[in-house]
Structures are given as C-alpha cells and as structure tokens.
Structure 1
C-alpha cells in the first residue's frame, strides 16, 4: 500500500472513510479534533486543553513531517470531516534512525469502525517501505482494545512503565511499551 496525498478509501458499517497524509489545510481541523479527543478519553497523555496546538502549530508539524525522512502524519476523514489521525515520528540521528514511534487518536463516536486499525496498517506498510526495523508505541494498561489490536498486528510487549499515569480516579496506572520488529 503506497501512502500518498491521494490516500486510500475503506468502508465499514455503511460509512466510507479516507486515510491520507495530512495537508496544511487540515491544520485548523486537527487543532479542534485533538482538543476534542483529549477530552473524550484518558488513554492519551493529555487532559483537554493541555499541550494545546493551534492551527499554526499544526501547520509546522505537518510541514516538518512532510519533509522528514522518518515521519508520517496521517488523517482519517469521513463525510469531509476529520475523525482521527496518527503519526509516526522517527529521527535522523544515525543510532536511532532505524525506528519510529507510532501514536493514534480517533473520535469516540468513531471507535469500532476500524479507523485505528487502518491507520496502523498504513503506518506499518509505510515503515516497512522505508526500511525501518522497529515501530514502537506506548499504551495505557487499561486500553485492552488497543493492546489486542497491536498484538494482532505483530507488536510485542517490551516493557512496563510502572505507575506512569495519574488518572481522574486518583490512581496511578502502568504504561505498556510495545514494538513491532521487521
């Protein structure tokens, strides 16, 4: 599967979705989308409003990722609206240029449509095409659906960061470090 600005299309539950690389014109929508998703789940590192990225900040990320050798920024779109996104971020440093870190977010109303899975599959294919040897991620131990998805796609648990996240219930939870090796 080739990743390009034209993207790919898939259907699930009578909805049509498009997966494509992020474009500068997506920046404003991405800012609002990220803010909304941060308020819908505790699976991510941020609470709503923390680490806020405005339109200009997203333009910088999109442009950097477009030109970085080991970065990929994908968006998921339905009916002209962004409903999710993912990023792979690598490095130009020689000792770690063989790997990238993957992260994904999808609006809660669109969980269960296979969007996260398609973003992951597209990212895996991109990483393999780039010759990357390792794709890694961090996932909250409570997010069993994501952990199952990652295992299904060849990711293995490499470690546990104990008491890594403090959630709204006042309890600390572990972060699972997972990776897929090619």
Structure 2
C-alpha cells in the first residue's frame, strides 16, 4: 500500500518528508538497515546479517506497494533516507487478520528529534484505516527511550521473553512484548498528527 506524503518539522527545525519508498530506493534502504544495525545493539540483526540484496528488497517493496494492508513509511531529509517504519500482517490466517507487527529504524544522528514519534503516530493511524485492530512489537529491555515512546503512543507491556537476544559478547537481553489496541488510542485521542 502506498502512503501519501506528509511534511513534518522536527525539533532542530529541519523539514522531513514522510512517504512510501519505491523499488528505486532499495539500495538506500539496505544501506540504512546496515548502518542502523552498526549503530546500536537494539536492532535484531548485526550489520553482516542484513541479508536482503537490492533485487530482493525491490521485490519486497513492490509486494508491500501492492498489498491491501501492509505498508512502509520512509523518512526523507533533503532526498536522503534517514529512517523507515512499517506494518506487516502477523500472518495470513483469519484468526490473526486483526493483528499487525511494527518495526522502525532511524539513523542515530536523527534520534530524539521527534521523527520516531511522528512516524509511529502516522503508522498507527494508517493501521487503523487499514482495518487492523492491534499493533504489536518487541523491544530490547534496555532500550528505555523506545519503550517510553511506545508507551506515550498507547502501547502497553504485555510480557517479557527472557534471554531473547544473545549478543556477540555472550550477554543476553530480554525482549519486552508490547501491544497497542487501536480503539483505545482512538477513544483517548492519543494521535498527535
């Protein structure tokens, strides 16, 4: 599904364009995912595990573009991709069609500028329009900034998966499972955009 563009101004005064990426952006999105995986341990994969090549990602982007419910929002600064976020169905089965899974990545130098909050609010609105009833995510236990943002946007902690992530240094991190029931945030008017 394609997302119409939305212009936002972030805390430092820069103007960001939020919209769907297309297949021509595949190489830049692969690069974004590689960099964000290098910048923090909060991403599920290490940089060397960013396994989609340009052609595979082009096909994925085309598939998302043609999907009725799944979508991706990309953040552009002066034409350069600095972040992306997306929603995908949990699976294709009827019993789970009301559920979506959320993921996001933003270049470290643009974190804490309001981009993540703007993207998340736009994602939640579009998820509701697309007929999803709840959005789910998993977050590293020590990613306090992300947890705070998710809670501010209506997510609730629903469980912990112990030792979900094993880092290269041999240490473990728990995964906090969170869910946002979309009718609750609509009722509470938590959408900011």
Range of TM-score over shorter length: over 0.9
Return the alpha-carbon distance in structure 2 between the equivalents of residues 59 and 119 of structure 1: 22
Correspondence list, 1:67-146, <5 A: 67-90=66-89, 91-146=91-146
User: In structure 2, what is the equivalent of residue 25 of structure 1?
Assistant: 24
User: In structure 1, what is the equivalent of residue 5 of structure 2?
Assistant: 7
Return the alpha-carbon distance in structure 2 between the equivalents of residues 120 and 135 of structure 1: 11
Q: Over aligned residue pairs, what C-alpha RMSD do you find?
A: 1.4
The number of residue pairs the alignment matches comes to 180
Kindly indicate whether the alpha-carbon contact (under 8 Å) linking 1:35 and 1:52 is maintained by their aligned counterparts in 2: no
Q: What TM-score do you get using the length of structure 1 for normalisation? A: 0.94
Cα distance, 1:6 vs structure 2: 4.1
Cα distance, 1:57 vs structure 2: 1.3
Cα distance, 1:89 vs structure 2: 0.5
- Report the secondary structure of 2:173's partner residue: strand
Q: Structure 2 unaligned runs (5+)?
A: 183-193
* Deviation beyond 2 Å, 4+ runs, structure 1: 3-6, 167-170
Cα offsets for 1:86-144 (capped at 9, x unmatched): 11111332111111100000001111111111111111000111221110000000000
- Report the secondary structure of 1:14's partner residue: coil
Is 1:152 the counterpart of 2:152? The answer is: yes
Cα distance, 1:167 vs structure 2: 2.2
- Report the secondary structure of 2:165's partner residue: strand
Q: What TM-score do you get using the length of structure 2 for normalisation? A: 0.89
Return the alpha-carbon distance in structure 1 between the equivalents of residues 99 and 28 of structure 2: 29
Cα distance, 1:69 vs structure 2: 2.3
Q: Structure 1 unaligned runs (5+)?
A: none
